[in-house]
Structure 1
């Protein structure tokens, strides 16, 4: 039988990847002893490098070769990996004035049917083009993409905004949720649920397409509320649902697996080894839930801010997550109203009202002028002041009085010379002071502007753009995070500082579109 033309073969592979409804194995599942050796011997600086590599042969063939050769040293092991896998690298973009540089970066960060969508690779194929963050992040990420889309919209790339929304619809239809990122090892968790807000960026008016997207949004809500019946019956946390003392329900971050993360295998095992009296499976679950939060990692999740092994993410009810779910519920109610589905509209308005009441009861600290996370362990709000306090303003959930109080706290305790601090605490974790992150700058300035705090919003925007532009001038790069105290590249975290960078690019374009006078 003659061989299939290359395009037909590629199309068949893509169809197989897109049409499959079962979760494919992760690299840890596929490569067993080889995977463990690579991650434990740390032959690559970043634990994510190997899990993103593309195999040059079927896994069974690679594992037979590994068993036959049995590399004995790290050098031999690395040589084996390089001969059997294509290990991804990093692209660079020439320097331009800041806004032009961002606009020039978009084509370099767009992926279409990426080469990683090959048999046995960890990449999950997507039907349309999408934007990746850059650096080690070679796939599409959930919450990153919202902030990237802001910039794409500001730069006139509505085509990519619509394509990425449709890619997310595809993921929900295939897997029941939007995973952390488009890799098999991310399928057991999601990320902060921004899909409802992405739909607000769409200019699509086709009724059939809008109905399909609304159905996907309702399916995503069902994913986050999958533990609802169990939590009501047992009065205990179930999956991502947390019962509060009065019986009301809020949500937490979670992960369906309780093993070391594929992409941080050695790091997670080392963290678990620090507390042998604590079940390793619980440690792994909390680390994974921290990754679902997007804030991996922060004092928000730690009993001892200086010790990652004290992580308790699954015991925390986060203010940002519940604000986003309120936005999802109000978005569904609005969509159902447009579709003249009154029972659905009433149901989701009721859910949104119940969530807001529970947030005001447990997560609002009137005496401290802030929203807080709530700990099931202590049965009270946590002491960590973070920029997550601004999420209720961002989604329009706060009252005018609450917004005014949060604005005062933000001005007094979170604004730094170079932008908004992530938290008011220094822990050494990357999602704490002195670091600032692009998405949180946007959440703050957009939320403050919504409630009339225009001067403070503009001040945060101006400080942030100055930090980004100074660092760009000095390095020629757009970075993942910044030190907003010293207006320098940010530090901390499990991996080297990344450049590229999707959400920094997006927020930069969106800010300069809103405040053109602050352009450097």
Structure 2
């Protein structure tokens, strides 16, 4: 009787052994030549790292991909492994880019804010994400690219809250300020609110009505002065073109040097030999553009004091306003307001005709800014030429021409150049910026230029990874010529960084780790 429990235990163990599946062969057998290539290349300092990796697909599928691709060289081999395996972090190693970005969202999130008396901050009813570094408040166009990454990481509640914040800003001020500070209430930034609203996880009628009201108010802000522009040629943000059509420019309603760059603006005005108030207006308008600063706005690319932003009709701004008008027309139709839908569809059609007539250069195969003083297209080539592709305004033949120009002049080893000119301004070569990588990628994909879009995305991921490996940081901008941290501009390089995190996170989702 005393042996019975032992006998039962032995029977149970035997039964379990019969039911258990046979172990798979070890990685060296499963992955044969792939395993040997990874270990021989010393892809990981510890040989155990790859031996412990988990394949993302069945081993047969991994090996079929290996035979089809036959990656050559360390970089290609590493990219293959990262696409097909989950590789464990090595002891003491930094987290992966995905892990680092996910860990940054809580660090960059701020709670709802009621500013204390005397503060320059604006109230925010819901939590929000800041870019990082010196940018301690929410910024307008940054937030669209940040939201892309939040979406990829399942942060829908935070996206909804940020959209409530933006709708609240429009309700209070009639537009979305550059950032949530009192000193930004004279200007906005590139109008991405219509595209942000499409990221909202909520689809109820009340939310849709709030977004539509905000978009219509924002459009009125950008078109304020249209009647005066028809008479005088330009008023506030509206410009009358030579044929009488209306397009837009960047502007700032406030006078004087910028609060946040007072010393720098005073010095620039003094060096200009021009009326200080005009220089301040052009500097402020350049800040509204988000490209602060670039040879796009300069008479002499080597001298900031020749800035003349208010004389330029920018292709990016007008592309975004066309997309806004199309979005309002669609949302009005969905709400059953056919008169509104027809009105904004007509405005979008008129803007598209003006863009095609004045901002397209068929001989050069590019979309361009237009100069009010010279009354012709600007000679400055820039990544802004991709905005009509991004919003779907370009014709297929125009998109093909722009793709050729990108390959010839804007494609750098580490991503998309901002411009081909090296001026010392931060929105010129050698710097590349996350939002422009996304604009280019999505615009090229829209028109069937998937190979070029993938080249830009993978090159950008390689640059971000290289800088992360050397600094442990996500940065505001990068040197896309040298796969290194960027430079230039009026302040030190910032880390954090909202829009870099967002765009990089989505590219990682689509293309995998490029290490």
TM-score over 0.5 (shorter chain): yes
Q: Which residue of 2 aligns with 1:389?
A: 385
Distance, in Å, in 2 between the alignment partners of 1:447 and 1:331 is 17
Q: Which moved more, 1:296-305 or 1:339-348?
A: 339-348
Residue 113 (structure 1) shift: 2.8
Distance, in Å, in 1 between the alignment partners of 2:387 and 2:471 is 32
Q: Root-mean-square deviation (CA), in Å?
A: 1.0
- 5+ residue gaps, structure 1, are 1-93
Give secondary structure in 2 for the equivalent of 1:368.
coil
Contact kept, 8 Å, 1:259 with 1:281, in 2: the verdict is yes
Q: Which residue of 2 aligns with 1:198?
A: 196
Residue 448 (structure 1) shift: 0.4
Distance, in Å, in 2 between the alignment partners of 1:519 and 1:429 is 29
- 5+ residue gaps, structure 2, are 1-92
Cα deviation digits, residues 34-86 of structure 1 (max 9, x gap): xxxxxxxxxxxxxxxxxxxxxxxxxxxxxxxxxxxxxxxxxxxxxxxxxxxxx
Residue 258 (structure 1) shift: 2.2
Q: How does 1:7-406 map to 2 (within 5 A)?
A: 95-114=94-113, 117-232=115-230, 234-276=231-273, 278-406=274-402
Residue 340 (structure 1) shift: 1.2
Cα deviation digits, residues 275-318 of structure 1 (max 9, x gap): 23x11000000000000000000000000000001000000000
Residue 95 (structure 1) shift: 4.5
Contact kept, 8 Å, 2:177 with 2:186, in 1: the verdict is yes
- Structure 2 residue 485 is matched with structure 1 residue 486: no
Cα deviation digits, residues 360-414 of structure 1 (max 9, x gap): 1000001111000000010000111000000001111111111111111111110
* TM score, norm. by length of structure 1: 0.80
Residue 127 (structure 1) shift: 0.3
Cα deviation digits, residues 196-225 of structure 1 (max 9, x gap): 000111121110111111011000000000
Contact kept, 8 Å, 1:258 with 1:282, in 2: the verdict is no
Residue 114 (structure 1) shift: 4.5
Residue 235 (structure 1) shift: 3.7
Distance, in Å, in 2 between the alignment partners of 1:210 and 1:442 is 26
Distance, in Å, in 2 between the alignment partners of 1:345 and 1:445 is 30
Distance, in Å, in 2 between the alignment partners of 1:439 and 1:400 is 23
Give secondary structure in 2 for the equivalent of 1:274.
helix
Contact kept, 8 Å, 2:187 with 2:253, in 1: the verdict is yes
- Structure 2 residue 456 is matched with structure 1 residue 457: no
Residue 477 (structure 1) shift: 0.4
Distance, in Å, in 2 between the alignment partners of 1:236 and 1:246 is 11
Q: Which has the larger radius of gyration?
A: 2
Residue 129 (structure 1) shift: 0.5
Distance, in Å, in 1 between the alignment partners of 2:476 and 2:218 is 27
Give secondary structure in 2 for the equivalent of 1:201.
coil
Size of the alignment, in residue pairs? Answer: 423
Contact kept, 8 Å, 1:235 with 1:247, in 2: the verdict is no
Distance, in Å, in 2 between the alignment partners of 1:335 and 1:100 is 37
Residue 514 (structure 1) shift: 2.2
Distance, in Å, in 2 between the alignment partners of 1:478 and 1:107 is 15
Distance, in Å, in 2 between the alignment partners of 1:422 and 1:273 is 28
Distance, in Å, in 1 between the alignment partners of 2:391 and 2:400 is 15
Structure 1 consecutive aligned stretches of length 4 or more whose deviation exceeds 4 Å: none
Distance, in Å, in 1 between the alignment partners of 2:144 and 2:106 is 18
Distance, in Å, in 2 between the alignment partners of 1:322 and 1:211 is 25
